A = this chain, B = another copy of it.
Amino acid sequence: MTTTDVAALRELLPEGRVFDDPDVLAAHSRDRATFCPSGTPAALVRARSTEDVSAVLRWANDNRVPVVPQGARSGLSGAANALDGSVLLSLEKMDAIVEIDPDEQVAVVQPGVINGDLAAAVAEKGLFYPPDPGSRGISTIGGNVSTNAGGMCCVKYGVTGDFVRGLEVVLADGSVMRTGRRTAKGVAGYDLTRLVVGAEGTLGVVTEVTVALRPASAQPLTAVAFFPEVAQAARTVTGFLAAGHRPSVLEFMDASSVAAVQQIADLGFPEGMAGMLLVQSDIGEAAPAQLAAFEEVASATGAAEVVVSDSAAEGELLMQARRLVGDAHEKLGKALLIDDVCVPRRNLEEMVTGLNRIEAEHRVQVLCAGHAGDGNMHPVVAFDESDPDETARARQAFDAIMALGLSLGGTITGEHGVGQLKREWLGRELDQAGLRTSHAIKRALDPNDILNPTRVLPGG
């Protein structure tokens, strides 16, 4: 893409949409993934309407220019990193909450709406938008849809895709497609909505999202439990869930993560513990009984201490421990490689034991926290980026973690997506027929390979 091309693109769009200042481009060239190279883009377009998106894609398709859709660039897999000569297509300015319909319990939003803003807006009307990725304060609904983002709510409420009823999508040739429905149910034709959800911008660009809402839940109550051995925490997770409980949160933090959090906020947690579970119940009057059941299971499996809070406010303080994990890890002053494997719950113990082995073998620090109720762990490899040898070992450890997840019957990504970071690993998770089918779909929908090329699918 040349300067002439940028001029041509500027011609096609209303004023104030196209930017090519090198500093602006550099500032928009990366998401939050580690180990993902980014290229030099030719232009940034800040779309303000579906027509803008349509014009960009039509032009890019005619001229074979790669387009990288971007939300808040808070992703962790490099899917929003610039490609050389690409157009960065930012949806951030399309940030209107178009409609909240309390009777039908749906909302219609543009892709640039911040997750937390939508959650707050529907809460004002007594409604609840559950998907709550850790990035919810900064990430956009469009990005959440493109990665099929999860969060702490998933153990009870499901992932982003479970709340997407319909989409407006601009296809590679610039045509506009409406998928899905507004109604509670609908099976008219192929599920194009779910095909686009999680496709990380490789099959189309999402310009409007219709999401399902739920009635507000009761204020949750919270409990935490501390275990001398990881196996005890793992058995508590499976035992508590197998007894029929559906907590709204069920999180794990390993010893290093608890210690790192204690460094930035002394929460008075006991010392020498191998792991901690944090559970919430949002079922109102029945919540204390559910947490009592948790306490019983945890104590029976060997918890050294269980704290059950009887006020929502105190519970919120305990939740801070989990929310601070990201900050605490960053305060270690090292580069972080955040993984996202999801394994059957009963294999949590083997997962954590395996992480300790990987830590020893590759001589890098591996911390772990995650959504224990889903078996979705976020092991974090902390390493010194200025040391090339340690950096190489970090990379190996990261790969070893995915191999471990697969060997335990799991997946390489529970909620962060494949992007650029894990595309070669996708080739190890899918079988040949699945890879062929995925490539066939990509070719069918984007024959000129302009939509976020080289992302998600491995190989050619």
Contacts and interface: CB of A to CB of B under 8 A. Distances in A.
Interface of A: 102-105, 126, 147-148, 150, 154-155, 158-159, 161-162, 171, 175-179, 181-192, 194-195, 197-199, 203, 214-216, 238, 241-246, 284-286, 342-346, 371, 373-376, 409-418, 422, 426, 429-434, 436-438, 440-441, 443-445, 456-457
A44 to B, nearest CB: 26
A374 B183 contact: yes
Contacts of A429: 188-189
Given A179-B434, A440-B444, 16 more contacts: A104-B344, A104-B346, A105-B242, A183-B344, A183-B410, A183-B414, A185-B371, A187-B417, A188-B412, A188-B413, A189-B429, A189-B457, A190-B203, A214-B246, A437-B445, A440-B445
A179 B437 CA distance: 10
B433 A171 contact: yes
Contact of A434 (B178, B216, B343): B178
Contacts of A343: 183
A211 B241 CA distance: 17
Contacts of A215: 241, 243-246
A150 B195 contact: no
Contacts of A184: 154-155, 342, 345, 373-376
Contact of A194 (B195, B286, B422, B445): B195
Contacts of A177: 431, 433-434, 437
Contacts of A432: 175
A410 B180 CA distance: 11
10 contacts: A171-B433, A178-B433, A184-B342, A184-B374, A184-B375, A189-B418, A194-B195, A215-B241, A215-B244, A437-B444
Contacts of A198: 187, 190-191
A190 B438 contact: yes
Q: Which of A102, A192, A346, A456 has the most CB of B within 10 A?
A: A192
Nearest to A423: B189
Contacts of A342: 181, 183-186
Given A216-B244, A345-B184, A438 B375 contact: no
A20 B186 CA distance: 37
Contacts of A199: 190
Ranked nearest first, the 6 interchain pairs of A and B with the lowest CB-CB distance are A215-B244, A177-B433, A194-B194, A184-B374, A444-B444, A186-B411
Nearest to A405: B183
A15 to B, nearest CB: 28
Q: Which of A182, A186, A244 has the most CB of B within 10 A?
A: A186
Contact of A426 (B188, B345, B426, B444): B188
